[in-house]
Structure 1
Amino acid sequence: MTNPTTTAPLSPALADAPRLQARNSAAFWAATGRSRGHEVIRDRAFLAVRGDERAGLRVLLQEPDLTGDELEAIAELVHGAAGPVDMEDPFSSTALGHLGVGSWQMPIMLRLPGAVDAPAVAVQRVREEAELLGAERAVIESFGLGRFEPYRPGEMFPKAILDEPGVALFVAHVDGEVAGACVTVEANGFASHYWVGTTEAARSRGVGRAVMLGSLEPLAGVPVTLTASKLGVPLYEKLGFTAASPSTWWSSSRA
């Protein structure tokens, strides 16, 4: 494996959104891998995090023009994965179905710097382990992450992730309980959102909007990207995000 080559600075424009998302996703998953004690593999065209039988393998494409050798390196990682396989191609330019994974697409969205409204529900940045565990449980429930059941505290979000540069977790409380959570990563002059979710009991109570607003406030001065589910697009549009292009996701769970 080689180290990624240095690339020119990116502008906060829709045309650059796929590469912005690719770079930030790599930063997020490298931080996640380090905090979990998993192997982080860097190459010119991809970053991979090789986890255990529950976390699995995560591959994030960094370029749209993979060579045959780079595709073969990814294939070796997939065939040797200890658990489930998930891959992201923000450029939607590389066919990976031959690796025994199914695909779907979600839009990459971009928000330019700008003012952010105050959330209607109290949102706070996670500082303590108890809040971190609440965020972890909320995300596992919201996304139906059966791979992390039975639940092991600190497995998805180890305490060490709070010390990763640029990484921040936010939670919203309803009736004294964590009702929503998200992760943000700021790096290289821009930021992205991950794991934006609410618990089932808190659905349709404005918690998702509140978590987004509360986590956007510290990022009001930088461009922000995210990859949205179809259900999330209307909310994100109201918060100033614009759809740029589709990102293709591949997963062994969709095979």
Structure 2
Amino acid sequence: MNDLQLANKNSAAFWRAVGRARGYELIERPGFLAALDPVRNGLRVVLTSPEPPAADLAELTELMKSRSWPRVTIEDQFGVMSPPLTPNRKPVMVRPAAPLPAPTVEVVHVQTEAQLAGVDKLVVEGFPIRHFQPHGSAAAIPPGLLTTVGFDAYLIAVEGQWAAACATISDDEVAGIYFVTTLPEFRGRGLARQLMHAALGQLDPLLVTLTAAEAALHLYQSLGFTTIAESTWWSS
């Protein structure tokens, strides 16, 4: 696999894990992975082939039409679709294994449901995930992820309050970093960089991938990530 295929494989793995932990129906075909939630998250799709079978695209089109979804999100890293949705282009980045300094603040490697609930609150409120607000109405980062092979999460506290968090998923080929979040009142203190140092240290020697928000692009570049493609996220 090339780096883009590895990044795509990781994104599908992340949504497979999250979908199972949230209790979603999953549909997996050669050309796509779909997580179905008719109540809150809607239809979440990762296209998984640069040349998806026509039957898969037809099934996906029918899925989009079959229900009144609260939202539809299609992650298209290969540029194979043009659905009647709004496009948002995001850089797909990778970083080969390379040494980094240890974090200079305490970064908690999440081990308990209480700690994971802290990650959930941070991500829902700070990322933010608005369709999971108010926090507590449902878990965006549910407890079942604690027992998912390859899943890890990290937290930083400031003055006794959880201030920053991220999640990762990995296998023996590639790792991905997701939901890097700092609450607004703690931004500007370098906490995201400290999270990244901790997570990257744990993921060494794997290739690491992420999809970058524009505001964090400079941070990721400074950590050695380079852009390999531009993914189109189609959304309703």
Fold shared by both chains (TM-score > 0.5):
yes
Would you say the 8 A contact 2:7–2:174 is kept in 1? Answer: no
User: What does residue 42 of structure 2 align with?
Assistant: 56
Structure 1 segments unaligned to the other structure (5+ residues): 1-9, 11-15
Q: Matches of 2:124 and 2:115 in 1, distance apart? A: 14
Matches for 1:103-252 after TM superposition, within 5 Å: 103-152=87-136, 155-252=139-236
1:89–1:248 contact (8 Å) kept in structure 2 = yes
For residues 76-133 of structure 1, the C-alpha deviation after alignment (integer angstroms, 9 at most, x for no partner) is 222225421111011123222x2xx201111111100111211122211111122111
Identity of aligned residues (%): 36
In structure 2, C-alpha distance between the alignment counterparts of 1:83 and 1:222, rounded to whole Å:
36
Is the counterpart of residue 90 in structure 1 residue 106 in structure 2?
no
User: Matched residues in 2 for 1:153 and 1:177: separation?
Assistant: 21
TM superposition shift of 1:150 = 2.3
Q: Deviations over 1:146-184 (max 9, x none)?
A: 201222266211111110010111111111111111111
What number of residue pairs does the alignment pair up? 235
Cα distance in 1 between the residues matched to 2:179 and 2:160: 21
Determine if contact 1:18/1:247 at 8 Å carries over to the other structure.
Answer: no
Structure 1: which 4+ aligned runs deviate by more than 3 Å? none
Q: TM-score, normalised by structure 1?
A: 0.88
Is the 8 Å Cα contact of residues 21 and 142 (structure 2) preserved in structure 1? yes
Q: CA RMSD in A?
A: 1.5
1:19 and 2:15 are equivalent in the alignment: no
Say which is worse superposed, 203-212 or 64-73, in terms of deviation.
Answer: 64-73
Contact between 1:17 and 1:109, CA under 8 Å: does it hold in 2?
A: no
1:71 aligns with 2:57: yes
Query: SS in structure 2 opposite 1:115?
Result: coil
Segments of structure 2 that go 5 or more residues without pairing to the other structure are none
User: What is the distance in 2 between the residues matched to 1:146 and 1:229?
Assistant: 16
- Determine if the alignment matches structure 1 residue 43 to structure 2 residue 39: no
Tell me, in whole angstroms, the C-alpha distance in 2 between the residues paired with 1:225 and 1:32: 17
CA contact (8 A) 1:166 1:187 kept: yes
